[in-house]
Structure 1
């Protein structure tokens, strides 16, 4: 079997799922090619495992100071380039297209009649998760953006019959020894926010040490805040040994923090529907506290909260790979049930 795996690269969560699933696909003897879109190719990093991948412009959103800028997003869209890429993508050599909410591969599969599977958090938003009524337009929007014949949504609970647990890499799950003499710290990752605003907010509590990952080239310190460049090696280690996590409400990092048993302080990206749903769900589950402004008193209250407990979830990658290898012949609901039955949290 040979598949084309399309990955939406706007956020790192989609790429994390691809990193988690690829070894299991290869273990099943599946040949995999990749296409990434939604982020300039020059800004992709640590991509060696994906080989000679393809890249397309795709679609993404523009942000500033923690908010999606709708007008700026519309201005940078390139629909003619998108349809050119869809028409020019030849799928004749593939048995299946797997799309993690990547629109070029999804629409090319639809046009050429190739079997397609959607695997992404966004496919779960078709349902009223955690009791929050789904917006009437969401189901249509999801299917218009990245259509697929089989849609596998990922979620933290088996609320609906075709939702699966998160896919996380072994790098994020493996144990890391603590560094000798390392003092307690809070891990911070807020890529959509103004870094200077975040630093000034954290400086209100000099007795606490914060490790802030940001888009910089070299490590530096500002009083009680250590700024670090993005790293797929250092970040999982710090996630495992931190006392808590402050982040936007992206599905991937929040999933890793849940499983690692880290208390969460989350700031949803304003105007981004998925993050709003993620935040609502985590608060409803009692697994996170939400904030919308950089309020020092709120931070003080959260810092004083006790540590969280681990929230173990079953690992779905192996079962998904087998299901794909079998041609998706088993109903998605049966696949999901077989995976969740291994959960110790239900």
Structure 2
């Protein structure tokens, strides 16, 4: 079976899912070609697993100081380039096109009438799940940004909908969590502001990752640019995770039973809704604004959270794809 796999690369979560899926697709003998869009090639890292992958411009949102800048997003978008990329991509040599919310592969497959399957967190929003700040723009994005013949949503709970559990990329580890260590990943916040919040909290050890940060030791705070191996190691070793309200990192933290605090990206419907779902399910805490006091209260709180254990979705989904990806053989209820 030959598959073209499109991955949205604006954030690291989609790539993390692709890493998990890629390992199992290979085990099942599926030949996979990868296409990533939404980030310049020179900003991608730890991509050796994907071989000779392709990249395209795609579409992405511009964020500043913890919120989306819609004006800059519109000014920097390149719809004509997207259409040119869609027209130029030939999908007809593939048995199946997979897309994790990646528009070039999704739209090219639809245009050429090649069978396609989409999976990812964004497709859960096509169902009745906890949502806030919903509007016609967000609904249009979820419906038309990266469509496919079959669309499979992922979420932390099924909400009585045909939704699968998260795909998490976690290797077996022997690292035990250190009770005072906190993993911090807030790529949409200004790094100097994050350091200002964390500096007074000297009773804890912070592992801070983010774009533009240098690798450094600043007393009780270690900083690092985004990377793979060290980040995963620190995730395992931390008892706490402080992050924006994206889906993949929170999913990995839940699977590892970490205490979680999220600050959603302001005016971003998906992250605002993720924060709502996380608190409604009693899986973690959420705040609309961060400061030293908020973080300090969370670190010493004795609030009780629900714990979850998800199945190996990447393994099962890859087996389903290798067997033909027939809709009739996918029973979401059996995955929970």
Match of 1:215 among 197, 201, 211: 211
Deviation at 1:288, TM superposition (A): 1.7
Match of 2:174 among 167, 173, 176: 176
Matched, 1:84 2:84: yes
User: What's the counterpart of residue 265 of structure 1?
Assistant: 261
Deviation at 1:183, TM superposition (A): 7.6
Would you say the 8 A contact 1:262–1:309 is kept in 2? no
Secondary structure of the 1:143 match is helix
Would you say the 8 A contact 1:120–1:152 is kept in 2? yes
Q: Point out the more displaced range, 183-192 or 14-23.
A: 183-192
Relative to structure 1, the CA distance from residue 59 to residue 137 in structure 2 (aligned partners, 3 Å threshold; closer, same or farther) is closer
Q: Point out the more displaced range, 262-271 or 133-142.
A: 133-142
Tell me the distance in 2 between the aligned counterparts of 1:309 and 1:219. 35
Secondary structure of the 1:33 match is strand
Q: After superposition, give the CA deviation of every residue in 1:188-211 in whole Å (9 maximum; x if it has no partner).
A: 110111000000111122222211
Q: Point out the more displaced range, 289-298 or 41-50.
A: 289-298
Secondary structure of the 1:146 match is coil
Deviation at 1:280, TM superposition (A): 0.6
Would you say the 8 A contact 1:266–1:289 is kept in 2? yes
Tell me the distance in 2 between the aligned counterparts of 1:127 and 1:309. 23
Secondary structure of the 2:309 match is coil
Match of 2:201 among 193, 199, 205: 205
Would you say the 8 A contact 2:132–2:272 is kept in 1? no
Q: After superposition, give the CA deviation of every residue in 1:240-284 in whole Å (9 maximum; x if it has no partner).
A: 221211100110000011111111111101122211111110011
Q: After superposition, give the CA deviation of every residue in 1:85-105 in whole Å (9 maximum; x if it has no partner).
A: 000001121011000000000
Matched, 1:327 2:324: yes
Secondary structure of the 2:195 match is helix
Relative to structure 1, the CA distance from residue 54 to residue 283 in structure 2 (aligned partners, 3 Å threshold; closer, same or farther) is same
Q: Normalising by the residue count of structure 1, what TM-score does the alignment of the two structures yield?
A: 0.91
Would you say the 8 A contact 1:128–1:134 is kept in 2? no
Match of 1:304 among 297, 300, 307: 300
Deviation at 1:138, TM superposition (A): 4.3
Tell me the distance in 2 between the aligned counterparts of 1:139 and 1:338. 28
Deviation at 1:335, TM superposition (A): 2.8
Tell me the distance in 1 between the aligned counterparts of 2:66 and 2:266. 6
Would you say the 8 A contact 2:283–2:307 is kept in 1? no
Q: Normalising by the residue count of structure 2, what TM-score does the alignment of the two structures yield?
A: 0.94
Tell me the distance in 2 between the aligned counterparts of 1:221 and 1:237. 17
Deviation at 1:235, TM superposition (A): 1.3
Q: After superposition, give the CA deviation of every residue in 1:50-81 in whole Å (9 maximum; x if it has no partner).
A: 00001000000001111110000000000111
Tell me the distance in 1 between the aligned counterparts of 2:324 and 2:318. 10
Would you say the 8 A contact 1:165–1:315 is kept in 2? no
Q: Point out the more displaced range, 232-241 or 27-36.
A: 232-241
Deviation at 1:338, TM superposition (A): 2.6
